[in-house]
Amino acid sequence: MKIKKGSEVSFHYELFDEEGNLIDSTYDTDEPVIYVHGEGEIISGLEAFLEGEEAGFSAKVTLAPEDAYGPVLEELQVYAGPDNFDDNVVIEIGATVETEDPEGNPVIFRITDIDEDKVYLDGNHPLAGKTLHYKIEVLEVY
């Protein structure tokens, strides 16, 4: 059966950065990704790459930022004073902070830097702006 809109697909992957460093893998967990094709459950470039393939398909693909997690958006890089955070928030580099956008939707920011009076936050996906290299193995298509 070929992968098409509405197909349930399971696959394993390895994800590498531009330098060839392994970022993530499903092989070490032995739990494949399972998604419904055409529903936007995985990044667009990967979904387009898998369209029309079948169980047993194995390949490598390189995705530009616009086909993966998008470009780095400067408007999602902001700062706030330490007094803007609730007392229960741990303010340290790498920590995440959840807030709401003007419409009340949750937004997650990573703390990227801290100085005396500013906490720098980044709301971009950690892989935004990066070219990604995937090794994919389709296990099943339903």
Segment 26-49, tens digit of pLDDT: 998 889 999 999 999 999 999 999
pLDDT at 99 over 90: no
* Mode of pairing for the β-strands spanning 106-114 and 96-100: antiparallel
* Average pLDDT, rounded, for the chain: 96
| Cβ neighbours of residue 62 closer than 8 Å, sequence gap 6 or more | 131, 132, 133, 134
Q: What percentage of the chain has pLDDT greater than the value 70?
A: 100
Cα–Cα distance measured from residue 131 to residue 45, given in angstroms and rounded to the nearest whole number: 11
* CA angle in degrees (0–180, nearest 5) for 45-50-53: 160
Mean pLDDT, range 102-130, rounded to an integer: 94
Q: Which domains does the chain have, with CATH numbers?
A: 8-70+127-141 (3.10.50.40), 74-122 (2.40.10.330)
